[in-house]
């Protein structure tokens, strides 16, 4: 009956393996094999593991093609291009339509391959010459042996000058193609069917040869992505307007362009049995804390889930306290915020297919920090921060305080105010607490329906919301005007920090209920409980409330206030590596302070 819920971090035989080196970066090495599940065994090939095939290629091209057809049966996006390479026999290209870049496939794979057979025998001493693809890219005109019209453009035919004979290659003909013919930036060889299939799914082209037990995996990924534009959820007044999109590599580029040091590291992992999503941990090697990094890797490796569609999946799977309503990881769609976090020694996690980066450790103060604070005047930034904190305090406390003052502690309300409140409450059918709960509920319903509503319906919502619920309900004496004002204030102040919305709704209702039981004392007990919960939270071992109510001078500079840049000489405590706290030497900047 009270069976303990299965821990989500239970270790299964299959774990998301880490990429031993991203294929595009290191051709030939690693490749998808490292990321592939341990093939073989009863699980391999079964739908549960998501591993597409098993075994290895045979020497017969026919059989190999049949194998792929079989694995991808009923998948009509699979494209098989059969070629007859002069001098070598039959070959076949396996790819998925839409995942590959047609230009790459046409110009860099098919064309050089087709031309390769027309070559007379060459002397081995010509080896030093550049390959044809590079010559083409450089715009140079290599010595033309045979010319061919492709796509209205004079393309260079024939094998490159320096290519050696296939007979010179002891590793076999596949290696000859890999090293001398194919003009793609990353080519690797494999005979493992499951990794070949995975490569096809990832958007690479697999090149199968007659009488050859190895296939070539040729990098030809290419698909349409959304353009880089400003994130709709995080606008900024002054500052960079680039935002992440759904392509992981593009997002990493955006980060790399801001921090140009080899110490910026990107570690890849594969998570998700079926979705096989690439997940990247970014950090600055000399600044990030080693223990945090180890912990993050550990927690990510323990994840055993079938699919990851957004970084939010990961967030809930790696939280220190799974039941808290507060965020224990930061989220952003902006590369500048990620870069700033990396420079403070935090770690970022990006997920392929999601524009949201996740950052750890996350502290409570960061709810109240915005990137605009750093781009505008520091007085203005500090003012805005204080407004945000006040907004949070108002939105959680106003309904509870109003309720307890009106129902329990009349003596504390100034008498003129009390009179007007009581006059407004004359002849109302419901007690204040019911009124408040209903009004707050209505506000949340309005907010939620407004979030996903098509724009043309918004008008109706605002008319019904504002006029009917606001005005008519008061005039019909269903609710009192002060209640409407109180719940509206609570609702508006909730929007000051959109990210803390859910915790504030929850706290507000809890405080309201406590106030309805014990008045101001209940309210105070609620606040004590809230503080207790915040105090017990930790994000990657860092106390969640660190930086708030601290008396250390350095801590105050970037918490409640945003100090000027020349005062922020150190990174926030406990986040960066020990001894790497200084980010700015004394005397930096024109002030010389």
What are the residues binding another protein (CB under 8 A)? 2, 4, 408-409, 411-412, 414, 517-522, 524-525, 528-529, 531-532, 535-536, 543, 545, 548-549, 551
Q: In angstroms, what is the minimal distance from the CB of 411 to another protein?
A: 6
Nearer to another protein, 556 or 568 (CB): 556
Nearer to another protein, 217 or 401 (CB): 401
Cβ(116)–Cβ(159) below 8 Å: yes
Nearer to another protein, 155 or 413 (CB): 413
Q: In angstroms, what is the minimal distance from the CB of 414 to another protein?
A: 8
3-state secondary structure of 462: helix
The gap from C-alpha 83 to its chain's centroid, in whole angstroms, comes to 40
Q: What is the total residue count of the chain? A: 593
Which residues have a Cβ under 8 Å from the Cβ of 183 and sit 6 or more positions away? 107, 108, 109, 112, 131, 132, 133, 134, 136
From the CB of residue 356, how many other CB atoms can be counted at a distance below 10 Å?
A: 19
Contacts 24+ apart (CB under 8 A), 170-177: 172/212, 172/214, 173/88, 173/209, 173/212, 174/209, 174/212, 174/214, 174/215, 174/216, 177/113, 177/116, 177/207, 177/209, 177/216
Q: In angstroms, what is the minimal distance from the CB of 529 to another protein?
A: 6
DSSP assignment letter at 582: B
Nearer to another protein, 115 or 401 (CB): 401
Nearer to another protein, 553 or 586 (CB): 553
Nearer to another protein, 203 or 529 (CB): 529
Q: In angstroms, what is the minimal distance from the CB of 524 to another protein?
A: 6
Q: In angstroms, what is the minimal distance from the CB of 393 to another protein?
A: 13
* CA–CA gap between residue 588 and residue 319 (Å, rounded): 38
* CA–CA gap between residue 516 and residue 522 (Å, rounded): 8
Nearer to another protein, 281 or 365 (CB): 365
Nearer to another protein, 265 or 533 (CB): 533
Where is 440: in which H helix or E strand?
helix 432-451
Nearer to another protein, 434 or 532 (CB): 532
The answer to whether the Cα torsion of 219, 225, 228, 231 is positive or negative is: negative
Nearest Cα to 338, choosing from 349, 351, 354, 327?
A: 349
What's the number of CA atoms in the CB half-sphere (13 Å) around residue 190? 28
Nearer to another protein, 249 or 513 (CB): 513
DSSP assignment letter at 522: H
Q: In angstroms, what is the minimal distance from the CB of 319 to another protein?
A: 17
The gap from C-alpha 341 to its chain's centroid, in whole angstroms, comes to 14
Q: In angstroms, what is the minimal distance from the CB of 367 to another protein?
A: 17
Nearest Cα to 561, choosing from 434, 388, 350?
A: 388
User: Across the strands, what pairs with 582?
Assistant: 570
Nearer to another protein, 72 or 368 (CB): 368
Q: In angstroms, what is the minimal distance from the CB of 574 to another protein?
A: 12
User: Quick one: how many helices (H) and strands (E) in the chain?
Assistant: 19, 14
H helix intervals, 232-283: 248-256
* CA–CA gap between residue 9 and residue 566 (Å, rounded): 44
Nearer to another protein, 250 or 513 (CB): 513
């Amino acid at each position: 009956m009270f069976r303990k819920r299965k821990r989500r971090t239970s270790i299964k035989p299959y774990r998301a393996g880490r990429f031993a080196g991203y294929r595009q970066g290191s051709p030939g090495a690693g490749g998808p094999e490292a990321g592939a599940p341990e093939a073989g065994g009863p699980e391999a090939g079964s739908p549960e593991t998501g591993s597409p095939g098993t075994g290895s290629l045979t020497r017969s091209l026919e059989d190999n093609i049949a194998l792929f057809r079989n694995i991808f049966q009923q998948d009509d996006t699979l494209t098989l291009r059969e070629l007859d390479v002069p001098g070598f026999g039959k070959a076949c290209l396996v790819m998925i339509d839409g995942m590959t870049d047609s230009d790459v496939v046409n110009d860099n794979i098919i064309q050089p391959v087709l031309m390769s057979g027309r070559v007379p025998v060459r002397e081995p001493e010509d080896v030093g010459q550049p390959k044809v693809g590079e010559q083409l890219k450089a715009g140079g005109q290599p010595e033309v042996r045979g010319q061919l019209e492709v796509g209205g453009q004079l393309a260079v035919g024939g094998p490159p000058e320096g290519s050696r004979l296939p007979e010179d290659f002891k590793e076999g003909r596949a290696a000859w193609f890999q090293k001398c013919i194919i003009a793609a930036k990353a080519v690797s060889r494999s005979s493992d069917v499951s990794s070949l299939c995975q490569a096809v799914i990832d958007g690479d082209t697999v090149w199968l040869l007659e009488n050859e037990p190895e296939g070539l995996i040729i990098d030809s990924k290419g698909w349409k992505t959304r353009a880089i534009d400003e994130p709709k959820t995080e606008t900024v007044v002054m500052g960079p307007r680039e935002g992440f999109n759904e392509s992981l590599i593009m997002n990493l580029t955006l980060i790399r362009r801001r921090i140009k040091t080899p110490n910026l590291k990107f570690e890849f992992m594969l998570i998700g049995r079926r979705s096989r999503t690439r997940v990247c941990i970014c950090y600055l090697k000399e600044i990030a804390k080693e223990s945090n990094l180890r912990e993050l890797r550990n927690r990510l490796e323990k994840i055993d889930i079938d699919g990851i569609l957004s970084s939010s999946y990961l967030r809930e799977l790696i939280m220190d306290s799974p039941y808290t309503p507060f965020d224990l990881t930061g989220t952003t769609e902006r590369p500048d915020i990620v870069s700033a976090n990396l420079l403070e020694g935090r770690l970022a996690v990006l997920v392929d297919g999601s524009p949201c980066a996740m950052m750890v450790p996350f502290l409570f103060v960061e709810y109240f920090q915005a990137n605009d604070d750093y781009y505008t005047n520091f007085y203005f930034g500090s003012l805005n921060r204080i407004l945000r904190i006040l907004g949070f305090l108002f939105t959680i406390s106003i309904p509870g305080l109003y309720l307890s003052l009106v129902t329990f502690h009349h003596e504390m309300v100034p008498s003129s105010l009390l009179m007007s409140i009581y006059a407004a409450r004359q002849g109302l059918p419901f007690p204040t607490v019911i009124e408040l709960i209903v009004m707050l509920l209505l506000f949340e319903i309005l907010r939620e329906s407004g979030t996903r509503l098509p724009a043309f319906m918004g008008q109706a919502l605002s008319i019904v919301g504002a006029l009917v619920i606001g005005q008519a309900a008061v005039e019909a004496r269903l609710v009192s005007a002060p209640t409407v004002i109180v719940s509206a204030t609570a609702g508006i102040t909730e929007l000051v920090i959109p990210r803390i919305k859910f915790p504030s709704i929850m706290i507000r209702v809890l405080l309201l209920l406590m106030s309805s039981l014990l008045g101001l004392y209940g309210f105070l007990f609620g606040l004590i409980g809230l503080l207790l919960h915040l105090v017990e939270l930790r994000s990657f071992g860092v106390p969640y409330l660190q930086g708030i109510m601290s008396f250390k001078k350095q801590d105050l500079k970037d918490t409640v206030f945003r100090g000027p840049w020349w005062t922020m000489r150190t990174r926030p405590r406990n986040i960066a590596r020990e001894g790497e706290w200084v980010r700015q030497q004394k005397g930096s900047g024109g002030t010389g302070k």
